[in-house]
Structure 1
Amino acid sequence: MTVPETDPRPDSEVERVLVVVAHPDDIDFGGAGTVALWTKAGIEVQYCIVTDGQAGGFEPDRDRAEMPAVRRAEQTAAAQHVGVRQLHFLGYADGAVEPTQELVRDITRVIRTVRPQRLLTQSPERSWNRLQVSHPDHLATAEAAVRAFYPAAGNPYAFPELDEQAWDVGELWMMDHPVANHYVDITDTFDQKMAALMSHTSQHRDPDGLRTGIAQGFAGVAAAAGFPANHYAEAFTVVRL
């Protein structure tokens, strides 16, 4: 598998970014350091979370009916650590996401509402080297988001029942794609990324172990990208229309 070398649009040309992910905490694992850099640069970032993460967590005594509200609250708190204030929760069932026309329509509606110049989502391609990032909900959400990115959101004849006007995003970023073509140095925002991740308290059996693993993992990404020692980085695949 190959992807073309693509230079992202300069951040100075981007006013709004929309992030579309399957579960609360997905963006914090994959791209929150980069999101924090964008918001620090004055870019408005909004999140679209497809499910409420009802199937997650390690608390056997918790009433599972509480999980949607818990996870929405955790994601809202996490977003604030990286400068994100507006979140769109679609309320799909955790573990049952498929790239249906309904989901494509719902993501298209959010794109047309936010009108971003950049869309960040997960990868529709499975990574056999890191299978945990290829949860079926991730793959399905990403496939629906890519279909919304092109052609649905920009096609005025797609989903004519929507009131929102068509919008061409123009630039797609994907996290956890098997082949990355762009790296972002997040050393200056790594603490914000960790604070966002730690906000998902219902999901962490071993917070100290998570901190260690995250630091090692993203230091490894920085090393692979050729950044200096003691740096952290996030990897993406960028496609421009």
Structure 2
Amino acid sequence: MTESAGTPLEPLPGDWRRALAVVAHPDDLEYGCSAAVASWTDEGREVTYLLATRGEAGIDTLAPEECGALREREQRASAAEVGVERVEFLDHRDGVVEYGIPLRRDIAAAIRRHRPELVVTLNHRETWGSSGFWNTPDHVAVGRATLDAAADAGNRWIFPELAEQGLEPWDGVRWVAVAGSTTPTHAVDATAGLERAVRSLLAHRTYIEVLTDEDPEAYVRGFLTRSAEETGKRFGGRPAVAFELFPR
């Protein structure tokens, strides 16, 4: 438990039109926040997904070239379930993503290209809260780089080569929202989007069948429902998706 475990969560700000969600792997967003994404797209907001890898190292029985193509297809189908049409991949190598200048540049370029007001990413800390489970290096690297790239994107003297490529600075990111945080501050009502979130995660069926012997739909529905209900205890009793919000 964290110190803020009983603190009520505030509603995530709603005065924005475009979001860019940046994560390491296919399924990261579906485990983290797709019910919120479904609500946003219902409201007419634009959401784009950016993935650092294609998840090609995620299934032991499939060679990376086969696995990457399959997981890309599953990710595009998954995004469509929650109203996301644009899904981009950076092609960093799954499992060995490195925090550093190349990753920051790639994410800053995407921020300049899509010009979001809200950037979403996944837990960038070393562990998953009170569980004590160690986070993966890819999650840590991508989350950290995303927080930094939100500032990089607005500074014309950082990565000046991007402007030469036609990507002018974008200093319009107002918040970075981190899903799966150990210290959430805000939340989004998951009631309307939860059923589509289930379908969205279930679209990663090949990967899920490797993770569990449980029926895939029962596993997905149970996981997402429990998570939303637990978060809802700090959000007026409504099922919810939690975020740690960093204003800029």
Name the TM-score, length of structure 1 as normaliser: 0.89
Two-structure CA RMSD over aligned residues (Å): 2.2
Aligned to 2:245: 238
Question: Does residue 81 of the first structure (1) align with residue 58 of the second (2)?
Answer: no
Q: Which aligned runs of 4 or more in structure 1 are off by greater than 3 angstroms? A: 5-10, 130-133
Task: Indicate if the aligned counterparts of 1:18 and 1:119 stay in contact, CA closer than 8 A.
Answer: yes
Give the alignment of 1:1-241 within 5 angstroms.
10-11=13-14, 13-57=15-59, 60=61, 62-126=62-126, 127-131=128-132, 134-150=135-151, 152-162=152-162, 163=165, 164-168=167-171, 169-205=173-209, 206=214, 207=216, 208-227=218-237, 231-241=238-248
Which amino acid counterpart does residue 241 of structure 2 have in structure 1?
E
Q: Structure 1 unaligned segments of length 5 or more: list them.
A: none
Rounded to whole Å, the distance in 2 between the matches of 1:33 and 1:138 is: 20
SS at match of 1:120: strand
Which amino acid counterpart does residue 67 of structure 1 have in structure 2?
C
Give, in angstroms, the shift of residue 176 of structure 1. 1.3
Rounded to whole Å, the distance in 2 between the matches of 1:64 and 1:104 is: 24
Rounded to whole Å, the distance in 1 between the matches of 2:199 and 2:220 is: 12
Give, in angstroms, the shift of residue 8 of structure 1. 6.9
Task: Indicate if the aligned counterparts of 2:123 and 2:179 stay in contact, CA closer than 8 A.
Answer: yes
Rounded to whole Å, the distance in 1 between the matches of 2:158 and 2:3 is: 30
Give, in angstroms, the shift of residue 99 of structure 1. 1.0
Which amino acid counterpart does residue 219 of structure 1 have in structure 2?
E
Task: Indicate if the aligned counterparts of 2:27 and 2:75 stay in contact, CA closer than 8 A.
Answer: yes
In structure 2, the CA distance between the partners of 1:2 and 1:88, relative to structure 1 (3 Å rule), is farther
Give, in angstroms, the shift of residue 64 of structure 1. 3.6
Give, in angstroms, the shift of residue 132 of structure 1. 5.1
Q: Structure 2 unaligned segments of length 5 or more: list them.
A: none
Rounded to whole Å, the distance in 2 between the matches of 1:218 and 1:133 is: 22
Task: Indicate if the aligned counterparts of 1:6 and 1:239 stay in contact, CA closer than 8 A.
Answer: no
In structure 2, the CA distance between the partners of 1:39 and 1:113, relative to structure 1 (3 Å rule), is same
Rounded to whole Å, the distance in 2 between the matches of 1:34 and 1:117 is: 16
Task: Indicate if the aligned counterparts of 2:123 and 2:139 stay in contact, CA closer than 8 A.
Answer: yes
Task: Indicate if the aligned counterparts of 2:35 and 2:193 stay in contact, CA closer than 8 A.
Answer: yes
In structure 2, the CA distance between the partners of 1:172 and 1:6, relative to structure 1 (3 Å rule), is farther
Which amino acid counterpart does residue 50 of structure 2 have in structure 1?
C
Aligned length: 233
Give, in angstroms, the shift of residue 153 of structure 1. 0.6
Rounded to whole Å, the distance in 2 between the matches of 1:7 and 1:112 is: 29
Task: Indicate if the aligned counterparts of 2:9 and 2:187 stay in contact, CA closer than 8 A.
Answer: no
Q: How many percent identity over aligned positions?
A: 33
Name the TM-score, length of structure 2 as normaliser: 0.87
